[in-house]
């Protein structure tokens, strides 16, 4: 019934209890989950979870391949690194990728060029494979959108018009309505997490009312950001129905409608047959 579009079952808080996590998912009617890769070093563990989730009965699991923008001191990905792993069974997206300027410390935005270059590599891999992107953006929305427009093959560079050669999702969305509109204009989906249930998230709830249900996904980002009434505890995919319930209240529809719509959106974005990949030659030409 429900789909968790973004979780980290390979993280230590959940990896040691995966069997219990899957059992709790079944009890909560969470049929599917996407296991997100954050380093190349960790990809094999994420992929093993996805292969484990290729079973006759739910919950079913899939994987992504990517290097999180916050991760430093890890193997830097090439387009080939990403595309080779993207060809493996049950790998359905490129990411988690994007930009994060939240913890600059003594650095400047100019110092984060390595993040921007890493993001470009992921977009190029998405274009080559035809797979969607899982976008993380924090305190960096202007640059995130600008690089997507530059690298994403959009016919209108000044303002995305939904005809780019990349698509995907802005995960764990916490940005403004204007950023949501720009992402929607480029054909991206918007995913809401347990933050939607937090008392201080009134502005985000307004954004959730604005985003059409046919472009919404729901997620836990577990083991983090457990929704109310579990805030502060270890999050699991079994809690994603609470995100659905909050979104249903905001939309004024039954929670079953949100469960069906977000699951259908997940299938449309991640599980449809991959379109014909763009060749390296055409990448060079853009």
Question: With 80 as the cut, is the pLDDT of residue 156 above it?
Answer: no
What superfamily does domain 2-285 belong to in CATH? Metal-dependent hydrolases (3.20.20.140)
- Residue 273's pLDDT band (cuts 50, 70, 90): low
What residues have CB less than 8 Å from 233, skipping those under 6 apart? Answer: 226
Residue 168 CB: number of other CB atoms within 10 A?
A: 27
**What's 37's DSSP letter?**
P
Confidence of residue 161 (pLDDT cuts 50, 70, 90): low
- Between CA 187 and CA 162 the distance in angstroms is 4
**β strands within 157-207, DSSP E:** 168-170, 189-192
Rounded to two decimals, the pTM is 0.92
Structure tokens at 243: 């995100």
Identify which has the larger pLDDT, 285 or 218. 218
| Two tokens, residue 102 | 């939240």
pLDDT digits (tens, 9 = 90+) for 70-83: 999 999 999 999 99
Are 171 and 134 spatial neighbours (Cβ–Cβ below 8 Å)? yes
280 band by pLDDT with thresholds 50, 70 and 90: very low
Percent pLDDT > 90 in the chain is 88
Report pLDDT for 153. 87
Tell me which of 119-123, 125-129, 151-155, 262-266 is least confident. 151-155
Least-confidence region, from 106-115, 157-166, 233-242: 157-166
Question: What does the mean pLDDT of the chain come to?
Answer: 93
pLDDT of 164 reads: 72
Residue 111 has pLDDT above 80, yes or no: yes
In the structure, what pLDDT confidence band is assigned to residue 154 with cuts at 50, 70 and 90? confident
How far apart (Å, rounded) are the C-alpha atoms in residues 153 and 151? 6
Burial class (CB in 10 A: 0-12, 13-18, 19+), 48: middle
| Distance from C-alpha of 44 to C-alpha of 60, rounded to nearest angstrom | 18
CB 222 within 8 A of CB 196: no
Write the CA distances from 254 to 167, 192, 237, 259, integer angstroms.
Answer: 28, 17, 20, 9
| Residue 257 reports pLDDT greater than 90 | yes
Q: Note whether 245 and 221 are within 8 A (CB).
A: no
* E strand map for the chain: 2-7, 30-35, 60-65, 91-100, 133-138, 168-170, 189-192, 216-218
Q: Is the pLDDT of residue 278 over 80?
A: no
Q: Is the four-CA dihedral 205, 209, 212, 214 of positive or negative sign?
A: positive
At 158, the pLDDT band (50, 70, 90 cuts) reads: very low
- Judged against a pLDDT cut of 80, whether residue 163 lies above it is answered with no
Instruction: Report helix, strand or coil for 212.
Output: coil
Contact 52, 26 (CB under 8 A): no
């Amino acid at each position: 019934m429900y789909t968790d579009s973004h979780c980290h079952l390979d993280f230590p808080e959940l990896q040691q209890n995966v069997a219990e996590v899957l059992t709790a998912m079944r009890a909560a009617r969470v049929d599917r989950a996407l296991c997100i890769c954050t380093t190349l070093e960790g990809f094999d563990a994420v992929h093993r979870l996805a292969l484990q989730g290729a079973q006759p009965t739910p919950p079913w699991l899939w994987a992504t391949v990517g290097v999180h923008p916050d991760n430093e001191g890890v193997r830097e990905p090439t387009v080939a690194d990403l595309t080779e792993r993207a060809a493996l069974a049950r790998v359905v997206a490129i990411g988690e990728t994007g930009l994060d300027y939240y913890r600059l410390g003594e650095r400047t935005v100019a110092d984060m060029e390595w993040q921007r270059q890493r993001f470009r590599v992921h977009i190029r891999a998405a274009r080559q494979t035809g797979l969607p992107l899982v976008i993380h953006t924090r305190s960096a929305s202007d640059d995130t959108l600008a690089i997507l427009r530059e690298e994403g093959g959009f016919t209108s560079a000044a303002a995305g018009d939904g005809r780019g050669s990349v698509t995907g999702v802005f995960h764990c969305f916490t940005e403004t309505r204007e950023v949501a509109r720009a992402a929607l204009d480029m054909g991206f989906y918007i995913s809401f997490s347990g933050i939607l249930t937090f008392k201080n998230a009134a502005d985000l709830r307004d954004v959730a009312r604005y985003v059409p249900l046919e472009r919404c996904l729901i997620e836990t980002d577990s083991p983090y950001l457990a929704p109310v009434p579990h805030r502060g505890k270890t999050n699991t995919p079994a809690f994603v129905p609470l995100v659905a319930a909050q979104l249903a209240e905001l939309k004024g529809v039954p929670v079953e409608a949100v469960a069906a719509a977000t699951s259908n959106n997940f299938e449309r974005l991640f599980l449809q047959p991959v379109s014909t990949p763009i060749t390296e030659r055409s990448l060079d030409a853009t």
